[in-house]
Structure 1
Protein backbone atom coordinates (compact mmCIF):
# COMPACT_ATOMS: atom_id res chain seq x y z
CA UNK A 1 0.00 0.00 0.00
CA UNK A 2 1.37 3.44 -0.88
CA UNK A 3 2.16 5.52 2.23
CA UNK A 4 0.27 8.47 0.79
CA UNK A 5 -3.21 6.98 1.06
CA UNK A 6 -3.44 6.89 4.89
CA UNK A 7 -2.39 10.53 5.02
CA UNK A 8 -5.05 11.52 2.49
CA UNK A 9 -7.72 9.58 4.39
CA UNK A 10 -6.70 11.10 7.72
CA UNK A 11 -6.60 14.60 6.24
CA UNK A 12 -10.01 14.21 4.58
CA UNK A 13 -11.54 12.78 7.75
CA UNK A 14 -10.07 15.61 9.81
CA UNK A 15 -11.42 18.25 7.43
CA UNK A 16 -14.89 16.67 7.40
CA UNK A 17 -14.88 16.35 11.19
CA UNK A 18 -13.80 19.98 11.57
CA UNK A 19 -16.51 21.18 9.20
CA UNK A 20 -19.14 19.11 11.02
CA UNK A 21 -17.99 20.38 14.40
CA UNK A 22 -18.00 23.98 13.17
CA UNK A 23 -21.50 23.57 11.76
CA UNK A 24 -22.75 22.00 14.99
CA UNK A 25 -21.19 24.72 17.14
CA UNK A 26 -22.59 27.44 14.90
CA UNK A 27 -26.07 25.91 14.94
CA UNK A 28 -25.97 25.51 18.72
CA UNK A 29 -24.75 29.07 19.21
CA UNK A 30 -27.42 30.42 16.86
CA UNK A 31 -30.15 28.61 18.76
Structure 2
Protein backbone atom coordinates (compact mmCIF):
# COMPACT_ATOMS: atom_id res chain seq x y z
CA UNK A 1 0.00 0.00 0.00
CA UNK A 2 1.43 3.35 -1.03
CA UNK A 3 -0.68 5.07 1.62
CA UNK A 4 1.66 3.81 4.34
CA UNK A 5 4.54 5.64 2.68
CA UNK A 6 2.72 8.73 1.47
CA UNK A 7 0.91 9.59 4.71
CA UNK A 8 4.01 10.11 6.92
CA UNK A 9 5.64 12.07 4.09
CA UNK A 10 2.54 14.24 3.77
CA UNK A 11 2.53 14.89 7.53
CA UNK A 12 6.24 15.74 7.45
CA UNK A 13 5.76 18.21 4.59
CA UNK A 14 2.79 19.83 6.33
CA UNK A 15 4.87 20.13 9.51
CA UNK A 16 7.65 21.89 7.61
CA UNK A 17 5.14 24.25 5.97
CA UNK A 18 3.54 25.13 9.31
CA UNK A 19 6.94 25.59 10.99
CA UNK A 20 8.07 27.86 8.15
CA UNK A 21 4.84 29.88 8.37
CA UNK A 22 5.26 30.35 12.13
CA UNK A 23 8.88 31.39 11.61
CA UNK A 24 7.81 33.98 9.04
CA UNK A 25 5.08 35.22 11.38
CA UNK A 26 7.51 35.68 14.26
CA UNK A 27 9.99 37.42 11.98
CA UNK A 28 7.20 39.73 10.78
CA UNK A 29 6.24 40.56 14.39
CA UNK A 30 9.86 41.37 15.19
CA UNK A 31 10.28 38.61 17.76
Q: Which TM-score tier does this pair reach, normalised by the shorter chain?
A: 0.7 to 0.9
Unmatched runs of 5 consecutive residues or more in structure 1 = none
Q: Take 1:3 and 1:10, find their aligned partners in 2: how far apart are those partners? A: 10
**4+ residue runs of structure 1 moved beyond 3 angstroms?**
none
Count of residue pairs the alignment pairs up: 31
Q: Take 1:11 and 1:3, find their aligned partners in 2: how far apart are those partners? A: 12
Q: Take 2:12 and 2:2, find their aligned partners in 1: how far apart are those partners? A: 17
Question: Which residue number in structure 2 is paired with residue 7 of structure 1?
Answer: 7
